[in-house]
Structure 1
Amino acid sequence: MNKFIKVLLVVQFLFLSCIASAAKNDTVLGPGDILKISVFEQPDLALEVRVSESGTITYPLIGEVSVGGETPAVAERKIASMLEAGGFLRNPHVSIIVSQLQSLQVSVLGQVLRPGRYPLEGQRTLADVLALASGVSPEGGDLITLIRTVDGKTTREVIDLAEMMRSGDITHNMNIVGGDIVYVDRAQKFYIYGEVQRPSQYRLEHNMTVIQALAVGGGLTLRGTERGVKIKRLDKDGVTHVLKVKHDDLVQPNDVIYVQESLF
């Protein structure tokens, strides 16, 4: 092969490798990822391999290589170094392309329209991954639970999505990382019965008042009286209290509103 053409091919190979590395310079390899590995001018060393649960791959000539937690660029240098140290190749140029990034996935569960596992392609926020799951379902509430494990330590954070949207404060619109679990809670409910048109359970809206709750229940029947509205409410110890309430009092989660019959 003409020496000039060979040098040109080497430069082209390195250039393409640099582009691939730049595109995934912050990608971290992990279990389940599928890698396409090639070595310049060594077609017999081309391999597609899945990263094991222990974060390793098996590569021709050099055997087991630990790549878990490494970027593709670091893994390339590691394989090249092992090939050269073993006396198999001199100054090998290794390229790794991640064909399937299984390790960088987020689980979106609970009250979303399409619960499941989704790949994280680039930087994604909490709002982004909820959009991937087609958004919150009609039964979904305002509270989002984010569960994350880092270095064996699991943390849990509850985010009020509706409040974040109302206030415009996006500090809680956190960046999501591989392995995160996003759980959308079911909407909080209240219950209403007695002399109302539609006794049932209903979604508790933000800062809902007693009079608004009565309106959701269709209003009073002809026998009902607004002066006879009471709420049965559980305290933190599980004890039920019966409270006489006013129209502008706020309804709390799991409140049971009872409308009495008028005596006249």
Structure 2
Amino acid sequence: MPIRHLFKSLLCLLMFVGALGSAQAADAEYVLGPGDIIRITVFQNPDLTTEARVSENGAITFPLVGNVDVGGLTVPAAESRIAEQLRSGGFVLQPQIGILPLQIRGNQVAVLGQVNRPGRYPLETFNMRLSDMLAMAGGIAATGADELVLIGVRKGKIERTQIDVPALFMKGDLAKDVIVSGGDVIYVHRAPTFYIYGEVNRPGAFRLERGMTVMQGLATGGGVTIRGTTRGMQIHRRAEDGKQQVIEPQLDQELAPNDVIFVKESLF
């Protein structure tokens, strides 16, 4: 291939990658909020370099111009606003402003329910994902379910998304590891349980794992005692209409949340 053709192909590839990166950055543009700390620089005016904290009403104090409202603006929009005030005040003729977020505290995400450290956590970068927030909250507790609920506002509408956490990693379904936004709420419900009593070695309530069978449930309860029998074993289950059902299950039958297994005493 001639050198000029190779160079042209390489140039086109670089332009495509650059455009793709710009588009992705535009989609994930961070919005400044109260509590954020930013560094502002003015090209060829080092005396105007300022570190400022965005106040609760979304304003910062900048030399010469005083208060500037930047809350709710993206970084480029905030740069343009400061430049306009410097220009309109006659302080700098052609200001070139640069803003670098140092600490992003304004936008927070609430992580609630069965996590090890529930609370509100700041978005430290504009592209933090669901897994990042779970890690900050100490991960899902032993009592937590495999699925969680993410509630947030997208395009002016409240969206509720149910996410299978193990599938993110076990199946490589990383598309569900979504980027979170300020004001989002992540909720982890308590894991489903089942109950076992009667002639078992460890009666009580236990976590119901996915696909758990009656036999596995018996094993979790320590197995049947020497006086017990699996014959005539019963499962008490609440149907969708709220009525109580009594089932004589097979050992390979799958358990349902809140099932109650009763193991009878052997007559012989």
- State the TM bucket, normalised to the shorter chain: 0.7 to 0.9
Normalising by structure 2, what TM-score?
0.78
Contact 1:196 1:218 in 2 (8 A): yes
Match of 2:7 in 1: none
Q: Measure, in 2, the Cα distance between the counterparts of 1:216 and 1:70.
A: 55
Identity among equivalent positions (%) equals 47
Q: Using the TM superposition, give the Cα deviation of residue 252 of structure 1 relative to its aligned residue in structure 2, in angstroms.
A: 0.6
Counterpart of 2:203, as a letter, is P
Question: Matched residue of 1:124: which SS?
Answer: coil
What are the equivalent positions in structure 2 for 1:138-157 lying under 5 Å apart? 138-157=142-161
Normalising by structure 1, what TM-score?
0.79
Counterpart of 2:75, as a letter, is P
Contact 1:228 1:262 in 2 (8 A): no
Q: Measure, in 2, the Cα distance between the counterparts of 1:199 and 1:69.
A: 56
Contact 1:191 1:256 in 2 (8 A): yes
Q: Using the TM superposition, give the Cα deviation of residue 190 of structure 1 relative to its aligned residue in structure 2, in angstroms.
A: 0.6
Contact 1:120 1:177 in 2 (8 A): no
| Gap runs ≥5 in structure 2 | 1-21
Say if 1:210 and 1:30 are closer, same or farther in 2 by CA, change over 3 A.
same
Say if 1:167 and 1:38 are closer, same or farther in 2 by CA, change over 3 A.
closer
Say if 1:122 and 1:79 are closer, same or farther in 2 by CA, change over 3 A.
closer
Q: Measure, in 2, the Cα distance between the counterparts of 1:131 and 1:123.
A: 15
Q: Measure, in 2, the Cα distance between the counterparts of 1:237 and 1:54.
A: 51
Match of 1:244 in 2: 248
Matched, 1:56 2:36: no
Counting matched residue pairs gives 241
What are the equivalent positions in structure 2 for 1:97-112 lying under 5 Å apart? 97-112=100-115
Question: Matched residue of 1:198: which SS?
Answer: coil
Contact 1:118 1:132 in 2 (8 A): no
C-alpha root-mean-square deviation of aligned residues, in Å? 2.6
Q: Using the TM superposition, give the Cα deviation of residue 167 of structure 1 relative to its aligned residue in structure 2, in angstroms.
A: 3.2
Say if 1:102 and 1:253 are closer, same or farther in 2 by CA, change over 3 A.
same
Match of 2:209 in 1: 205
Q: Measure, in 2, the Cα distance between the counterparts of 1:52 and 1:153.
A: 27
Q: Using the TM superposition, give the Cα deviation of residue 189 of structure 1 relative to its aligned residue in structure 2, in angstroms.
A: 0.8
| Gap runs ≥5 in structure 1 | 1-21
Say if 1:255 and 1:235 are closer, same or farther in 2 by CA, change over 3 A.
same
What are the equivalent positions in structure 2 for 1:16-31 lying under 5 Å apart? 26-31=29-34
Q: Using the TM superposition, give the Cα deviation of residue 260 of structure 1 relative to its aligned residue in structure 2, in angstroms.
A: 1.5
Q: Which among 221, 226, 229 is matched to residue 225 of structure 1?
A: 229
Match of 1:132 in 2: 136
